[in-house]
Chains A and B, each alone.
Chain A
Amino acid sequence: THALSLRILAECKTTKARTCKLHLPHYVVDTPVFMPVGTQGTLKGLVPEQLEELDCKIMLGNTYHLGNRPGHELLKKAGGLHNFMKWNRCLLTDSGGFQMVSLLKLAEITEEGVKFQSPHDDSEMMLTPEMSIQIQNAIGADIIMQLDDVVHSCVTGPRVEEAMYRTIRWLDRCLKAHQRPHDQNIFPIVQGGLYPELRKKCVQELIKREVPGYAIGGLSGGESKDDFWRMVTLSTEYLPKDKPRYLMGVGFAVDLVVCVALGCDMFDCVFPTRTARFGNALVPTGNLSLKNKKYAKDFSPIDDQCPCSTCKQYTRAYLHTIVTNETVSCQLLSVHNVAYQLTLMTGIQQSIVEDRFPQLIQDFFDKQFPDTDYPQWAVDALASVNVNIKKS
């Protein structure tokens, strides 16, 4: 009785990777999936149609920003964010808590909720689990997030345990406050910092609740990559197989490939579109900084294998003349970078179906690291799921 169903199409015979059809209220999403972030109800100057042409099926909105401007009351009047921004496919919203804690200096967490100073006047405000859900119900995304007690991933000691248990208490409040379970799916968030016992305990508590999917949170915040992958793989180990797993805030190509192998289905990250604004294009070998003079007379596309409209029409040389000068360049590079992320993911999906994901991993690393200087954490992480990348 959730507004979601997950059909596993194929599982990798070597790693924990799987490819699924995720049926959501607005669209069917193929996983593993990368979700671009359209913070304020728009993505880097692109119209929804351009994202559809890229075959993007789900994107993110940020509750904290949307709650500020235009505010959930207006979004409700507009018939939800889908209507407001004219996006007919899937949306996911975060709880707003993470951005509050990271953007606002004076945020303080109490049992009641996140206390903060209004960015407009100095009045004290409170984001409770109930309010977060109320706002997300007004926004109307296909997937919404519970409010969690966010702790920086480098924090240690009893605060981490406190946050983990509070996150579970808040989940229960969120589930109770959720008004639209028939057409919005709420995901709880696995917390527990870098403590395996806490993570495990957290998952065990979460899976007692009747929820449509799970998010893995509290990572990708500056912890060592070694800790990072161990926490990811531990979380997926204990999560039920028949529900989607969303690894929050992860989107570098290398991380995506490794974390798919560790069993994650959904990812989001601002990096691909943020880096576009500074003139960087993502390619299989890493990235091109198009500001660089060496592209002034380079009349080839960013990536001649890329199917995006930017690569079909524009040269590196022309992009070099407009990067960071004309807003058009931001859109052209955003189109390409989103295309890069999505193409990487469809390639992964395909390879899992054909059971050649381990080979894709090897090829991917060969291109990214032509000198075979593979990062050790990635080598270890992949070895833990039986893939030993090596010099060809």
Chain B
Amino acid sequence: MKFVVNSVKSGGCRLGVMSDFGLHGKKIVETPMCMLYTRRGSAPHLTADMLKKIQWLPPMAQMSVTNMIEHHEAIEAYKQGIGKFANMKDYIVYTALHDPATEVMSGQNDTATVGVWSKSGKVRLDVEMFVKVQEAFKPDMYQALSDGDTDLKAGKKRTNKSVTRTLTYLDDILERLPKSQVLKDAAIFGVIEGGNSEFERCRSARETASRDVAGFVIEGFHNQGPQTELFKISDIRDIFKTTLECLPEEKPRLMHGAFPPDQVLEALELGLDVFDSSYPYHVTERGGALVFDFVHIADPEDMDGNKAVQKGWEIDLNDKKYFEDFGPLIEDCSCYTCKNFSRAYINHLRNTSELLGSVLLMIHNFQHYFNYFEAIRRALAEDKYEQLKTHITKQKKYIRLLTLTFILSQTVYVAVQTESGLRQWP
């Protein structure tokens, strides 16, 4: 894989291009980019035919080792890689270690292995097994084995351990790679750990950068899952910046997790290039439709007259107020859902727990979020990023009280979002 940063724009946002992928040599990926989030190789709720209805689909799909590890022998026997196995052969495949939409259980890793949970129980993944699984999956890009089991509260010992282990795994993998015919064209991403310790972060970044990796995954700030939506990039701005300064400019940086629209921009300004789309997935799971506006960026003067900014990020299709609302999710949205179905119908589908509700919301939410990334790239290229950012920030300010209901391991949490951002739920 090749990566070129074409320009660094206002605030530090990078415009780049990835190319020369292993199995998909001719594909070109413009960054900032948001990969297609998948579960067991398929876009959530969407068959390949339905997925095709979405516009602005990214050329790259993110799959995860955890999702599919119990099937690696079948995929190995299939011989053509996980992308084709899952009927996603047109996609550049990036394999992450964990599913970004599922919280990773803490305390599962040791010096030699990382514990991953599959349907049939815990699997101890050592480097040998890891390489074997990747050889079966045949990704274009993959995240190296890592111990990312830290968060902002992790102690010194734990962060030190996670950095050391992750480097050891990486060295072990790199040592095995020359023997692997299959993985010779696959791009390996080194993983930067270190929790909230600036010292460990810089050690991790410098050491990883000195090895032969194609890009970097920034991990160890949180344990993934739906609650990453509440994670505030601003809380880690300084340490993040320092970390990225230790990395070479010409390699892509990727971070897993759910990024609401304003967080995407904050992360971009710190120099992140690649994201996943677990955010629109979470929104879909709770019955929400993304409605934040990035299309009608008005002149700065009459921004207040712009009604579009008063809705917040999403609307809740479980809400009775849509019972008789025969309009689309967004009036001028060009997505398949909005062109064909009404809020009232989707409200009915949510009310009756019908699967089609998730299908229709997933289509709209994916398209909206991918289109947002397209808008960001365009705004950067046309030097209109500041206007876009003001427009997004404006909408954030209108979210005075937004109730998000997450179903997290059978428990209902309620988060209250205020002007200052999301607060921890009671």
Contacts and interface: CB of A to CB of B under 8 A. Distances in A.
Contact of A69 (B39, B42, B352): B352
Given A296-B73, A335-B47, 20 more contacts: A40-B354, A41-B345, A47-B359, A69-B348, A70-B348, A74-B324, A77-B326, A84-B342, A85-B345, A86-B340, A86-B341, A313-B87, A321-B74, A322-B42, A325-B40, A325-B119, A326-B39, A328-B44, A328-B47, A331-B45
B85 interface: yes
B228 interface: no
Nearest to B339: A86
Given A299-B78, A326-B42, A328-B45, A40 B87 contact: no
A172 B344 CA distance: 35
B66 interface: no
Nearest to B45: A327
A50 interface: yes
B348 A332 contact: no
A70 B77 CA distance: 49
A204 interface: no
B68 interface: yes
B48 interface: yes
Nearest to A45: B355
The residue in A46, A77, A331 that gathers the most chain B C-beta atoms within 10 A of its C-beta is: A331
Contact of A314 (B87, B340, B341): B87
A317 interface: yes
A84 B74 contact: no
A200 interface: no
B359 A45 contact: yes
Interface of A: 40-42, 44-47, 50, 65, 69-70, 74, 77-78, 84-86, 296-297, 299, 309-310, 313-315, 317-318, 320-322, 325-328, 330-332, 335
A286 to B, nearest CB: 24
A358 B303 CA distance: 74
A45 B340 contact: no
B87 A318 contact: yes
B279 to A, nearest CB: 19
A309 B49 contact: yes
Contacts of B345: 41, 78, 84-86
Contacts of B358: 45, 327
B86 interface: yes
A44 B40 contact: no
A232 B87 CA distance: 45
B356 A322 contact: no
B49 A50 contact: yes
Given A74-B323, A84-B344, A321-B71, A47 B50 contact: yes
B46 interface: yes
Interface in B183-221: none
Nearest to B337: A47
Nearest to B363: A47
